[in-house]
Chain A
């Protein structure tokens, strides 16, 4: 394989100019693990870090003492060099509620919070989690309490969702239907239906027939109340977006050495370039190497057959077959990485071996951190 540039994680962590690290990638590749491992390593190298995680595996969360979803950073560990590691789990509904409370007068806030459409939107809109992760990142950054913020991104199928969701929510709130629903409020609160065209009459009629009259009223209340709040919200999202383009930000793209995940990583890397967002490099996680790589898969397979034909050393034959499988897997993983490297020859890469066990404590995170930094402990 053409050798990619090496991702120098320690240089990034040690650079006081690095203020935000965003870990992104396809679902299940190890974003949360990488974010936590980077946080621990940075803290042990003397930085005051907060890791904003979205969905840590249960045992990892427990071992870090993150048992409650309370939206506040908790101190996880302190190191001799004065470094500190804080971590928090994102509570998206609460973050959303807080924005509403901060932007609307109490009466209006109450109206929004109790509206069934708001409750549905704030707990299950596919994109709310991404939006709120961004919002929380902005809040942490503005608080200026930490000199490094590491963000884990939500478990969406596609890594691009993290960048696209806020805009999608914005676009959605600017949609035609929303404008129709809010028009009467803007025109002085007169009835929606008199002011609008016949098309809307049909729509309102159909909706009333399908859903009952209450739904339309709820929807209108929701939309006009939200409209009053969202101007400020959208502006904040734009500010956070700018933050992501700032020089103190570093994106770490995480991928597994598999086709879909590597392809996703490729898209993401290209997208970051388009958005002028600073890419630190690619982490290829859960790589399988063999401690007996000098014996090729082909030779190993042939030898296993040879032994079987001779009817001797049954166990050795089994071991050789197992080794063949391992070498084939390693070769497949290599090929998947090669595609990425030839398409993006300048992107620095770090590889992290697959552990035999899941990573669920600080010890495991420390080990991953060492592998990330290419500094076996």
Chain B
């Protein structure tokens, strides 16, 4: 084990949320790899039934079973689990009540399906129940089985309801084991061992959603984690050039000379090509400026921020390790 301090030492449940499509699954997977690296054991959990983990690690669909799916850089293992609420329910009834037969009957008659459909709170409590059980689980040696659990969670709009199970279930089940169970989940989720991370892009809607989500999570008394700014484009131009270009100022003459020197165009052709390119630069500069404004908006939340690069060829396994490395060097894991 390495002893380097990270920003989230002491956190065992990392909940990763964000607006749909911003890269929750990708970031959760990279974070799991980063946390595992250096000889740790990490469980990556998904709950939306999309088999996103299998896809990203290029594996066949995952069963409802914890299995090792990847080895982290410099040792360490990532396990994965795709939680199916119905299976979680059966397991739970058998484990605590020895009611396997009743559980099967409930499933067969469509009760579980029914209950989890009308009342997503039930579904959530089963899913978070399984997740927090993995967080609390101890081996024969009395130590926790997993050093960390990373949850690829529902999107920002649903995250507070999802984590605030006690409240969601309270209206439906006022007494009984489900209620007790949800209290247990609540204990883990509200403890300092849990942190909710947000994934965003430097665009208006995801940033707005992130800020709203952070406020909501805080109001609910849950601990916020970091902000992972995903798909960040590197800027190739000097800041002074960008600043001028954002105001519409860009020296075409100089550019035309450069184009000529590179043997791309000459005379009037060089000028017209330079004009086209200048237009491109101005647009790029404006977007960079807007992105900077979004960065500043995110600053209002006063949370640690990490930037992950846009991988131009999409996310493959190598790309995932690259993101994990970036997460580590920035101190998030």
Contacts and interface: CB of A to CB of B under 8 A. Distances in A.
A214 B174 contact: yes
A292 B276 contact: yes
A206 B109 contact: no
Nearest to B283: A356
Interface in A300-324: 300, 303-304, 306-307, 310, 312-313, 315-323
A266 B295 CA distance: 35
Interface centre among B105, B171, B174, B277 (most CB of A within 10 A): B277
B208 A57 contact: yes
Nearest to B259: A316
Interface in B32-67: none
A357 B290 contact: yes
Interface stretch (B115-123, B134-142, B183-191, B217-225): B115-123
B248 to A, nearest CB: 12
Contacts of B161: 124
B279 A215 contact: no
A212 B175 contact: yes
Nearest to B110: A177
A214 B179 CA distance: 13
Contacts of A357: 286, 290
Contact of B255 (A116, A306, A319, A328): A319
A157 interface: yes
Nearest to B284: A322
B258 A358 contact: no
Nearest to B171: A116
B6 interface: no
B205 A212 contact: no
Interface centre among A125, A180, A215, A293 (most CB of B within 10 A): A215
5 contacts: A203-B109, A205-B102, A206-B99, A207-B111, A316-B262
Interface of A: 27-28, 57-59, 116-117, 119-121, 124-126, 155, 157, 172, 175-178, 180, 199-200, 202-203, 205-207, 209-212, 214-215, 218, 290-295, 299-300, 303-304, 306-307, 310, 312-313, 315-323, 325-326, 328, 356-358, 360
Contact of B237 (A175, A290, A322): A322
B203 interface: yes
Nearest to B269: A294
A214 B261 CA distance: 82
A292 B280 contact: yes
Contact of A303 (B208, B263, B280): B263
B264 A303 contact: yes
Interface centre among B93, B114, B262 (most CB of A within 10 A): B262
Interface of B: 19-21, 93, 97, 99, 101-103, 105-106, 108-111, 113-114, 117-121, 161, 171-179, 203-205, 208, 236-238, 241, 254-255, 257-259, 261-264, 273, 276-277, 279-281, 283-284, 286-287, 290, 312
B279 A292 contact: yes
Contacts of A304: 262
Contacts of A214: 173-175
B109 A199 contact: yes
Nearest to A180: B109
A325 B236 CA distance: 11
Given A27-B20, A117-B118, A212-B179, 11 more contacts: A120-B121, A177-B110, A199-B109, A200-B109, A206-B106, A209-B97, A209-B176, A210-B173, A321-B236, A322-B236, A322-B237
Contact of B119 (A28, A117, A293, A317): A117
A212 B238 CA distance: 66
Contact of B176 (A119, A176, A212, A310): A212
Contacts of B171: 116, 119-120
Contact of B262 (A121, A172, A320): A320
B118 to A, nearest CB: 5
A358 B102 contact: no
Given A202-B105, A206-B106, A120 B119 contact: yes
A178 B114 contact: yes
Contact of A306 (B121, B173, B263, B280): B263
B199 to A, nearest CB: 14
A316 B120 contact: no
Contact of A203 (B102, B118, B255, B257): B102
Nearest to A155: B20
A214 B169 CA distance: 13
Contact of A328 (B120, B178, B312): B312
